[in-house]
Structure 1
């Protein structure tokens, strides 16, 4: 499972629990990985089964020495149920976190939820920010929210529960298409993920990376002859976009394998033609030259100023070192 547990860097965590497939799986995944947490569950008194779910939550809390916070609520009408339920739920979480000094909330949103949200927003008319709001880490008021399962499908979680013989409940209201999310789940997202899970998961990950990168801008520091020096954005995705754009202008298209190799190796030659070097502060891109004898003095200046080795011959050939140093010093 492609979990994001390494992002959870807090010690006082609250798990939003419902006793359903997602939160039951997450409960035991957190236990297995020694991540500390307590439980919070809301009973909306909408289904008879909710009493059994709360009882199960209490049972787990007692067995595994977890604190548990329970909220009783009720609705007279189903209109706008999902929004009302969410408002009640997060108000409850806010109160617990403030009163008991928790640092973070952990929720069990998973890949199906992420795709359902995407489709719902897409059909309403939305921009990238609205379409891609399921972040693995986000901030709310004075605490963090972690969603470590957002790249894991519900089917994968079900398999985990069944394999480990872990008890969970199925919310019968998930079949009621009066709720818009259920309509998208039953008619679209479940079917799409069943056939195209890997592609959908990767696309949503790439779109999120692109969105983050779009918020940043490339900074070209130097451009002379065919040498370009950019500021290192400290973002692999944006750095690859910068390199890709530069190479396209030079008539070269990067393959997926080449992109991955550039990020891994940091300095290499593409297609025996273009030298690329991702340094701590800068990105160098220029034609790759060989069969040039560099002076000892020039090599020493390059070493001192951390000029990448594969670019040195080109810089030497066109006498660019002095003008480069004026720009990057």
Structure 2
């Protein structure tokens, strides 16, 4: 059931499995064992259900049984926007582990149901081809690869396989809670469609993936550290997607309204966390900073073509300002030659 194209990435790398103890991640756990692929596991305990602690204990016991390292993060109470905040916490935890222990690959157990749910949700919200596809077998994140080896399998496939093998897993009753939009899409649309049209849906997703692979590449950043910089004028849709990917790697998901504004506006604040400036000379995304700036500094930024929203951060971080200035000088030199 593991996608063949993902296996070479896993055979020699240092892998970390995002493990919830549910059907999908439990199936992936045992499939990796069957393929003799080395991995450790990471589990987030949100303490939202009676069985949350039992799932965390099960993750530890399973790891000990098979000689795996198990990392468990105990999450505090999430008061609002649970899905988005839980995702931010979860990937923040994973990112910390990946860097601290030198893992090359983060494995997640997303499957065909998840992929179709995502496509339908994006379709109803308004999205282009890359956003519709969303979940690719391999995605490059900051410092590591995110690999999803189960995208061709349905949840029913995985459940049947686990039951046949006699492997224990936990059922998350909140997956049927209609308060969550994803659950509504799963129950009302994705599930029934997969039951009737699985083969056609799989073929369509494959065709769409090939079409997406033929799209022009995203712009390459001049600087990609705590701030993001592109020199020169960029095509707005490609720029939006590139910025969206960079922010997602840092745990921030652009809202649809922010994506739309990025197509038409040149200076905007993003989620009270980031500032973005687009000029013919450069595009810059920086952490949002408030600071009084000397008039001479503001004038220098204007001459360089640096937008107003990012100037306070550059004023407070002179090393980054000098790097941006050098990159703009180099771009001007290349344009003259």
* TM-score tier after normalising by the smaller chain length: 0.5 to 0.7
Are residues 21 and 213 of structure 1, via their aligned partners in 2, closer, same or farther at CA, if it must alter by over 3 Å? same
> Per-residue deviation at 1:8?
2.3
Q: TM-score, normalised by structure 2?
A: 0.62
Equivalent residues of 1:13, 1:38 under 8 A apart = yes
Instruction: Quote the offset at 1:2 in angstroms.
Output: 6.0
Alignment of 1:289-328 (within 5 A): none
Shift of 1:48: 1.1
Specify every segment of 5 or more residues in structure 2 that has no aligned partner in the other structure, as ranges.
Answer: 218-337
User: Does the CA contact (< 8 Å) of 2:119 and 2:132 recur in 1?
Assistant: yes
Equivalence for 1:130: 131
- Separation (CA, whole Å) in 1 of partners of 2:151 and 2:186: 16
CA distance in 2, matches of 1:88, 1:194: 33
Q: CA deviation at 1:76?
A: 4.4
| 1:203 matches 2:204 | yes
What is the CA distance between 1:75 and its match in structure 2?
Answer: 2.3
Closer, same or farther in 2 for the Cα pair 1:7/1:180, shift >3 Å?
farther
CA contact (8 A) 1:11 1:35 kept: no
Cross-structure match for 1:306 = none
Aligned residue pair count: 215
Q: Distance in 1 between matches of 2:97 and 2:213?
A: 31
Structure 1 residues 76 and 129 mapped into 2: Cα distance closer, same or farther (>3 Å)? closer
CA contact (8 A) 2:46 2:75 kept: yes
Is the aligned partner of 1:152 residue 2:169? no
**In 1, Cα distance between equivalents of 2:51 and 2:84:** 21
Q: CA deviation at 1:73?
A: 0.6
Which residue of structure 2 aligns with residue 59 of structure 1? 61
Aligned CA-pair RMSD: 1.3
3-state SS of 1:192 partner: helix
Give the match for residue 140 of structure 1.
Answer: 141
- 1:49 equivalent to 2:51? Answer yes
User: Unaligned stretches of 5+ in structure 1?
Assistant: 217-329
Q: Tell me if the contact between 2:78 and 2:85 (Cα under 8 Å) persists in the aligned partners.
A: no
2:21 corresponds, among 8, 19, 25, to 19
Aligned to 1:71: 73
Q: Please tell me whether residue 30 in structure 1 is matched to residue 32 in structure 2.
A: yes
Runs of 4+ in 1 over 3 A off after TM superposition: none
What SS does the aligned partner of 1:40 have?
strand
